[in-house]
């Protein structure tokens, strides 16, 4: 029955694809309101592959599950994470953080380090990349998106050392009302 739209309330048959974006609670809330006002799930089926992995529509499935609504789906055989990225890139665009999360969830060590580094030191991606690569780290964004991000042990050590300095200065920065970005650049320039 592939390529035909089917309906079900058996939500447990669907599986998440490793590397897909995490559920965005804000988007889920807005989508829930929209669907509860006018349920058009039958007009916008989720797309799954032949293993019942969700290619497109994980938020719609979650709304259906949370509200005991029939979910509609279409099977596209052999679809993969590449199709997820392609579909989502034309819908709600992936943020650069979504790419970091995706590659980290699939076990890429450099992305795992980057994600943990950002979380541990409460850094934005820009701050983390500047600490690892220096003041002109804009070129790294493309590598992050394309799954080509790499950081040597030396870069990781340098980034963590710089972040330690910023971490120690945070109470003073907040008190003085200084911009963390200016402090970040001063730390890099000081070396």
Per residue in 161-187, pLDDT (tens digit) is: 888 887 887 777 665 555 556 666 666
3-state secondary structure of 23: coil
Q: Which of 117, 111, 113, 118 is nearest to 143 (CA)?
A: 111
Is residue 101 helix, strand or coil?
A: helix
| pTM over 0.75, yes/no | no
- pLDDT tens per residue, range 47-101: 899 999 998 899 999 999 999 999 999 998 888 878 777 766 666 667 888 999 9
């Amino acid at each position: 029955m592939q390529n035909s739209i089917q309906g079900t309330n058996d939500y447990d048959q669907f599986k998440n694809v490793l590397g897909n974006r995490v559920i965005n609670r804000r988007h889920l809330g807005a989508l829930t309101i929209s669907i509860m006002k006018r349920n058009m799930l039958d007009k916008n089926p989720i797309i799954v592959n032949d293993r019942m992995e969700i290619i497109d529509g994980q938020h719609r499935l979650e709304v259906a599950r949370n509200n005991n609504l029939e979910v509609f789906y279409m099977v596209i055989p052999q679809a993969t994470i590449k199709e997820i990225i392609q579909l989502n890139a034309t819908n709600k665009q992936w943020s650069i953080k979504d790419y970091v999360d995706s590659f980290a969830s699939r076990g890429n060590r450099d992305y795992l380090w980057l994600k943990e580094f950002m979380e541990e030191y409460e850094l934005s991606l820009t701050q983390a990349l500047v600490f690892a690569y220096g003041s002109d780290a804009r070129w790294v964004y493309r590598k992050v998106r394309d799954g080509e991000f790499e950081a040597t042990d030396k870069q990781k050590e340098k980034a963590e050392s710089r972040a330690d300095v910023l971490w120690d200065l945070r109470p003073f920065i907040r008190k003085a009302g200084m911009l963390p970005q200016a402090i970040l650049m001063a730390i890099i320039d000081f070396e």
